[in-house]
Amino acid sequence: MANRDSQALAVSCLLLLCGVATNATSQTQTFKVGDRVLVSTSGLQGDQYWQQCTVIRELKANSYGVKCDPRAAGQIGSEYAVLPGWIKPLSRAQDHGAPPPPGRANVARDGTVAGDRSFVNCNMQQKKAKNGDSIPPELAKLLIQCLWEKPSAPGMDGAQTVDIDSLDIGRPRKWVYQQDMGQGIDGLDTRIWPVDVKWTWKTYYRTRTHVIVEEDIFNCYVDAFSKWSCGLGMHVKDISKRDVEVK
C-alpha cells in the first residue's frame, strides 16, 4: 500500500511540474512588432472575446501594444494595451489577413490638411446661355463638383473633393412649381436638364478619409442671370461608405 501511495505521489508531482512548465512557457512567450496575434482586449477567455490583431509595441511595463483588425468593412481598427495573458499566437491558417497599411495624409507645413489631388477651379467665368440651351457635359460636371468641393481652412482639416464617376444627361422637362428649387426664369417655361450622376465624395481628416459613393439625379437650368446652375434633385442610392485610415 505504501508503495502504491509513493507511486501516486510521484505521478502527481510529475503532472504538477509539467503544468508549471507549460504555464511558464505561456508566460514567457514573447511577441515582436508586426506579429499577428489573437487578443482578448477584456481579458475574458471565451472564444467570442478573441480577435485578430497586430503587435505595434513590444512588451513594456507588463503590456503589449496591439492594433486590432476592423470588425466590419469601412471601419478603422482600434489600438489597445494588453497584458501578456490576454495575447496568444495566431496561426497562418486562422489569419484572415492584416488590413492594408494606412495611407499618408497630405498635410502642409502650417498643419492644413489637403486632398489627394488639386481642387477644381470653381471661380470660372461662364458664357451667357439662354433658356432651352442644352448644358455642356463638362460644365455640368464642374458645377456639380463645385457644390461641395472646397479646401480646408488654414491649419485645419475637413477638405472635400468630388469626383464624377459617370454622368448621363437626360431629356429636358418643364420647371415644376414648388417642386424645383432655385431661380427659374420665364415662369413654367424654364427648361430643366436632369443629370444622372455616380459620384465619389471624400472628406479629408488628419487620421482618416471619409469616402461616400452615391448615385443621384441633379437638375440643371439657366437662371435669371443667363448662367447655368445645378442642384441636387433626387437621391437614387447609396453605393458605399467607408473610412480609409491615414497617418
Q: Give Cβ neighbours of residue 148 (< 8 Å, ≥ 6 apart).
A: 160, 162, 201
Q: What phi-psi label fits residue 192: left (phi over 0), alpha (psi between -120 and 50 degrees) or beta?
A: beta
Q: Give the residue carrying C-alpha cell 513594456.
A: 60
Q: Which helix (H) or strand (E) holds 188?
A: none
User: Looking at the predicted structure, is the pLDDT value of residue 32 above 80?
Assistant: yes
Cross-strand bridge partners of residue 212: 201, 241
Q: What is the value of pTM for the model shown?
A: 0.66
Q: Give the residue carrying C-alpha cell 503532472.
A: 15
pLDDT at residue 9, as a whole number? 43
Ordered by start, the domain boundaries in the chain are 32-91, 106-245
Q: How far apart are CA 100 and CA 132, in angstroms?
A: 50
The pLDDT tens digits for 71-87 are: 776 677 889 999 999 99
- Rounded average pLDDT over 102-108: 86
Q: Give Cβ neighbours of residue 32 (< 8 Å, ≥ 6 apart).
A: 55, 58
The pLDDT tens digits for 114-170 are: 999 999 999 988 999 998 899 999 999 999 999 999 999 999 999 999 999 999 999
Domain 32-91 = CATH 3.40.50: no
Positive or negative torsion for Cα 113, 118, 119, 123: positive
- Rounded average pLDDT over 94-119: 88
What average pLDDT is seen over the chain? 85
